[in-house]
Structure formats: C-alpha cells, structure tokens
Amino acid sequence: MVFTIYNLVEALWLIIPAYAANGLAPLMGLRKNLHPIDSGRMLGKSRLLGNGKSWEGLAFGIAVATAIALVEMLACPYLPWGLSDAPLLIVPMSPLLGLALGLGAMLGDAAGSFVKRRLSRPRGSPVPLLDQLDFLLGAFLLAALVVPVRLEWILLMVVITPIFHLLANLIGFRLGVKKTPW
C-alpha cells in the first residue's frame, strides 16, 4: 500500500471534526461543577471513567465536531479540489457525519479512560498509543456507519496522529488547559 499526499488530504478532510472534538473537549475542564459521566461509580477499586470525562465535555466535543463538519460542508464547493493532479476522494461532509465523528471520538476517548482505570493508571498518566489512538479509532468506527472509510486513511492517521496528538497536548499544557504535557 502506497501513501500519497492525496491520501493525506482525503484523510484529514474526513477526520478534522474528530480532531477538533478530541482537542477542544478538555476546555470544559476549565469550568467548575462538571458532571462526570460515571457519576462517581466504581468498578472494583477504581472509577469507571473518572472526573476527566464529563457530560459537558461529551456534549461540547460532539457540538464542535458537528459545527466543523457544517463549515466543511459549506466550504467544500469553494475549495480548489480540481487543481489536484490526481482525482481526490473527498467525503461529502454533513452535520450527521460530524455528529458521528464527534460521538465516536468522545466514546473512543472514554473507552481509553476505562482501560486506563482498569490498568490502575491515574488520571493524566500516559499510556502511549492508547492516549493517541482511542479517539481516532472510535471516530473512524462511527464514521463508517455513515460513509465509506478507506483503509489507507485509517492507517495513515494511525501513523501521524500520535505526532499531532503530542504537539496538541504540549500546546494545551503550555496554555494551561491540560495538567500534563501528554
């Protein structure tokens, strides 16, 4: 399988709403009195998800992804796709697809937190690859219910997302949005 810049453009077009959802949901952590999704429930000696996964963050992440998808949908006809040397497979973006990407990203991230709690890892502790790929795989999974998703896009994003994720977390840490740089 050969990856090209064209695959990258196609994959990024599809996954940008999920990136935005996952990257911006932690902004809800700046607010006080959030409502944890697990309501403090335990499984064994640890929380199901922890305080880092709130209903407010879930709703905000989904709303952000849906809004980004709407912007992409409206902008698509005006973008210079025809200037490409190769035909591009640009997924027709829609609010429904944005909702699926946002919900998938948030559910994938919550699943990652669930696994981390089962591994007795405290909130904010790094678990390489799980931290970077949980939201991505959730987003692709739910997006595939709405549009065809190519294997090339998934593999390419699995390779480059850890790099993007690390950079975004470093920026969030520097801005004071995240408590850890990972």
Domains of the chain: total: 1
Domain contains 68? yes
State the pTM of this model. 0.91
Beta bridge partners of 43: 46
Domain contains 90? yes
Q: What is the CA radius of gyration of the chain?
A: 17
Residue 87: domain span: 5-175
Per residue in 127-173, pLDDT (tens digit) is: 888 988 999 999 999 999 999 999 999 999 999 999 988 888 788 88
Domain contains 182? no
Cβ-proximal residues to 126 (8 Å cutoff; 6+ apart), any chain? 180, 182
**Mean pLDDT across 11-33:** 91
Domain contains 180? no
Domain contains 65? yes
Per residue in 50-91, pLDDT (tens digit) is: 988 999 999 999 999 999 999 999 999 999 998 989 899 999
